[in-house]
Amino acid sequence: MTPPRLRPRNRAEWLLAIPIVVPLLIPLYNRVDPVLLGVPFFYWFQIACAGLAVVVISLVHRLGRGRR
């Protein structure tokens, strides 16, 4: 039985920290203005973070696919 890896397999996997850390920085988006289509900044920023996560995860997956 082999021990689990503690380090990411490639450097691109460090990009996965972006969608984890950005939503945790609540003072960055804890406000109402600017409003986008009637939606306060607090809410649409969180939706944008979900989109960012999709993009970053897809990018890391594509970059890591060639290493298998």
Name the DSSP letter for residue 8: -
pLDDT, residue 10, reads 73
Q: Between residues 64 and 16, which one has the greater pLDDT? A: 16
What is the pLDDT at residue 49? Answer: 94
Say how far apart CA 15 and CA 25 lie, in whole Å: 17
Ordered by start, the domain boundaries in the chain are: 11-65
The C-alpha atoms of residue 42 and residue 63 are separated, in whole angstroms, by: 32
* pLDDT at residue 5 in the model: 63
Task: Using the structure block, give the residue that is written with the tokens 């989109």.
Answer: 51
Q: What is the pLDDT of residues 3-52, one digit of tens each?
A: 666 555 678 888 899 999 999 999 988 888 899 999 999 999 999 999 99
Task: Give residue 63's pLDDT.
Answer: 86
